[in-house]
Amino acid sequence: MSIAISIPHIFGTDFTQRVPWTVHIPFVVDRKFPRLEDTHLTTRNLNIRIGDTHILKDVNVEIPQNKITCIIGPSGCGKTTLLRTFNRLVDSIEGVKIDGQVNLGKQDIVAANAGQMSELRRNIGLVPQRPCPLPMSIYDNIAYGCRIHGVRGKRKLDLVVQHYLEAVGLWNEVKDRLHSPANKLSGGQQQRLCLARSLAVEPSYLLADESTSALDPISSKTVEDLFVKLKRDYSIVMVTHTLRQAQRIADYVIFMYLGEVIEQGDAKEVFSNPKHELTKTYLNGGIS
Amino acid sequence: MKKNNRLLKDRIAEQLMAIMTISSLLLVVAMAVGLYLKSVPILQEHSLWDLLTEGEWRPMADKFGFFPFLMGTLYVSLLALGIAIPISLLMAIYLTEYAHSVVKRYVFPFLDILAGLPSVIYGVWGMLVIVPWVSDVVAPSLRHDSSGYTVLATGVVLGVTVIPLLVSLFIEIFSNVGREIREAAWSLGATRWQTTKDVILRQTAPGVIAAVVLAASRTLGETIAVIMVCGNLAIVPSSLLDACYPIPALIANNYGEMLSLPLYESALMFAAFILFFVVLGFNLFSRLVLRKMENK
């Protein structure tokens, strides 16, 4: 594992405008959590029903490693449900029924018990749609994840906090007020904080549910750039409503329509040469 | 023409509602002033300090010590809140964070019914169940002799009386926490209990405090259920198994009797004034605490 650390860039200190330059160096913070050997995330014949509604129909996907995978499709096609199946957040919906398999390596996500689920969610982080810092200080937001998994010791946590705040280019903006409440930060800063919070528990995957949609264009760009940098160390699955965002950053694309995966493949291939009629129509703005 | 009419109605409605709001607020002020004026006679005879700290209550002998009543109110309210707060918090956490919606569907209406029961029913239940339990089970097991009409019985009854109120307030407060913030904690791998403890309770702390203050005001002022189980003895309770005599019980028991003694009436009005002042002061204090917390 290696990390990206920031060095102060040359155009002054307006970090909202640009992501600091990053260089790649070996991981300086000791790993706190065991690393999964097999991190393949796949679904096999995944069917999800909520009450009588068939939300996902026979979904078979394989998420490529260290790439940005964009799930695209019109509203209500089930892309968010698919994303939330990967970390079992679908469970919180009343009356949900999951059939089929979702595997992270050898582990069956659908069959995970409470203990496995905690570990699973640590391995598959979520960057929320709207920034939502936990009701605590900036420092505690980052340290919280480590604490709940039993990592103790101030010096250890100090390192973790600094490390991940640097990774998202937030360190220089907040280093003087680490112990002030996180909700005093701006929206874009909050979203980067949420990203750092997810990274701090050393996941293999990052799920992003339209994570830039609630941000202003500049913050949105900053977060987008971060995702591109992070794919070196993480596999990223992203739901997006904006086709242009997908075209900018996706390496792999899954197009869904009415609960079915219509087409998936290499981003360039799908965007330049879609095989399915529906994909063509969607890409041309015929379905929204 | 029609348009002007519409605007006029709007103006009238606004003014009317403003007048009603202000007059109901003035009513509170008028009550405070009225209580104060009525208690002036006794304040002229005895100093405020003596009234609040003297322990002897013999109106016929011109002894007006409110200390036993103050302590009775305090002990009973503290005990009631000590019982009600943990139980209600755990119930509300269970119902919002853990329980299946089927459970909620049956429990919520039940809670509403409980919250709406007149307190005299809780009083009767206290007399029939709690008082005998205290005198036959609790007191003997502590080698103590007790009639059962005690601080303990009153605290339990009062606690049970405010539990439905507290639970429904807490449920309201916890349900208002956004789903996203729960999911943020879950997706770090937090268990539901960790999420509740570290995120939900922290986020809702001001609301929880406000709810507790509301419940505390209720326990301070609850009258009928208290009269039925408190023992009505003007002593400073020294243990849970002593009788007590909270202020509301004092007023309700004695007002209307023996008012030939003008100072006696004034003393009861003074008691009401204390109660008014305590509840008001308590609420204002909690407001201050809340504002401090929110600014932090």
Contacts of B189 in chain A (CB under 8 A): 117-122, 145, 148-149, 201
Of A134, A135, A149, which has the smallest distance from its Cβ to B189's Cβ? Answer: A149
Q: Which CATH number fits domain A39-283: 3.20.20.105, 3.40.50.300, 3.40.50.720, 3.10.580.10?
A: 3.40.50.300
3-state secondary structure of A56: strand
Tell me which chain B residues have a C-beta less than 8 angstroms from the C-beta of A119: 189
Model confidence at B2, in pLDDT bands (50, 70, 90)? Answer: low
CB A208 within 8 Å of CB A250: no
CA of A267, closest CA in chain B: separation in Å? 28
DSSP letter, residue B60: G
Q: Is B175 on the interface with A (CB under 8 A)?
A: no
* String of DSSP letters for A136-172: SBHHHHHHHHHHHTT---HHHHHHHHHHHHHHTT-HH
Task: Give the pLDDT confidence score for residue A12 in this predicted structure.
Answer: 39
pLDDT band at residue B4 under the 50/70/90 scheme:
confident
- Determine the residue type at A161: V
**Pick from A117, A132, A201: CB nearest B181:** A132
Task: Decide if B202 touches A, using CB distance below 8 A.
Answer: yes
| Reduced DSSP (H G I as helix, E B as strand, rest coil) percent helix, strand, coil of chain B, to 5 | 80, 0, 20
CB A90 within 8 A of CB A96: yes
CB atoms within 10 A of CB B281: 10
Q: What is the pLDDT of residue A38?
A: 79
Could you tell me which chain B residue has the CA closest to the CA of A146?
Answer: B188
The SS3 call for residue A178 is coil
The alpha-carbon gap from B292 to the nearest alpha carbon of chain A, in Å, equals 14
pLDDT band, very low/low/confident/very high, at B3 (cuts 50, 70, 90): low
In this structure, of A144-148, B2-6, B101-105, the range with the lowest mean pLDDT score is B2-6
pLDDT at A152 (0 to 100): 86
Q: For residue A116, count other CB atoms closer than 10 A to its CB.
A: 15
- The closest alpha carbon to B90, from B198, B162, B163, B155, belongs to B163
8 A C-beta contact, residue A250 and residue A70: yes
Question: What pLDDT is attached to residue A14?
Answer: 42
Is residue A169 within 8 angstroms of chain B, CB to CB? no
Q: What mean pLDDT do residues A197-211 have?
A: 91
Supply the pLDDT for residue A29.
59
Distance from CA of B193 to the nearest CA of A (A): 11
Give the mean pLDDT of chain A. 85
The CA distance from B169 to the nearest CA of chain A, in Å, is 21
pLDDT in tens, A60-86: 999 999 999 999 999 888 899 999 999
Report the share of chain B in percent with pLDDT over 90. 60
How distant is the Cα of B284 from the closest Cα of chain A, in angstroms? 25
A135 at B interface, C-beta within 8 A: yes
Is A201 in Cβ contact with B188 (below 8 Å)?
Answer: yes
> B128-141 pLDDT, tens per residue?
999 999 999 998 89
Q: Is A107 exposed, middle or buried (0-12, 13-18, 19+ CB in 10 A)?
A: middle
Which pLDDT score, from 0 to 100, does residue B101 have? 86
Integer angstrom CA distances of residue B155 from A205, B73, B78, B227 = 54, 10, 8, 12
Chain A nearest C-alpha distance from B101 (Å): 8
Q: Looking at the partner chain, which of B178, B179, B188 has a beta carbon nearest the beta carbon of A121? A: B188
Give the list of residues 6+ apart from residue A164 with CB closer than 8 angstroms, or none. A142, A196, A197, A199, A200
Q: Which of B179, B186, B198 sits opposite A121 (nearest CB)?
A: B186
Share of chain A above pLDDT 70, in %: 89
B128 touches A: beta carbon within 8 Å:
no
Average of pLDDT values for A255-282?
91
DSSP A181: B
Residue A15 has pLDDT above 60, yes or no: no
Residue A225 reports pLDDT greater than 60: yes
Q: What is the pTM of this model?
A: 0.84
DSSP string, B213-225: HHHHHHHHH--HH
- Residue B247: is its pLDDT beyond 60? yes
State the DSSP H helix or E strand holding residue B140, giving kind and residue range, or none if neither: helix B139-141
**What's residue B58's pLDDT?**
86
Asked if ipTM goes beyond 0.95, one says no
Q: Give the mean pLDDT of chain B.
A: 90
Q: How many Å from the N-terminal Cα to the C-terminal Cα in chain A?
A: 40
B201 Cβ under 8 Å from any chain A Cβ? no
Which residues fall within 8 angstroms of residue B62, CB to CB, at 6 or more apart?
B45, B263
Please name the residue of chain B whose CA is at the shortest distance from the CA of residue A86: B187
Q: Which residues pair with B115 in a beta bridge?
A: none
Query: Are A125 and B179 an interchain contact pair (Cβ–Cβ within 8 Å)?
Result: no
Long-range Cβ pairs for the range A277-284 (8 Å, 24+) = A279/A255, A282/A72, A282/A73, A282/A74, A282/A255, A282/A257, A283/A243
Residue of B nearest to A195 (CA): B184
Per-residue pLDDT at B56 exceeds 90: no
Residues near B200 by beta carbon (within 8 Å), at least 6 away in sequence: B93, B97, B174, B177, B182
> How confident is the model over A18-28, as a mean pLDDT?
43
pLDDT, one tens digit per residue, over A153-200 is: 888 899 889 999 998 889 999 999 999 999 899 988 999 999 999 999
Are A145 and B189 a contacting pair at CB < 8 A? yes
Identify the residue with better confidence: A15 or B112. Answer: B112
Judge residue A240's burial from the number of C-beta atoms within 10 Å of its C-beta, 0-12 exposed, 13-18 middle, 19 or more buried: buried
Q: Which of B150, B173, B154, B151 is nearest to B88 (CA)?
A: B173
Per-residue pLDDT, B286: 86
DSSP B237: -
**What is the residue whose two structure tokens read 């280019």?**
A169
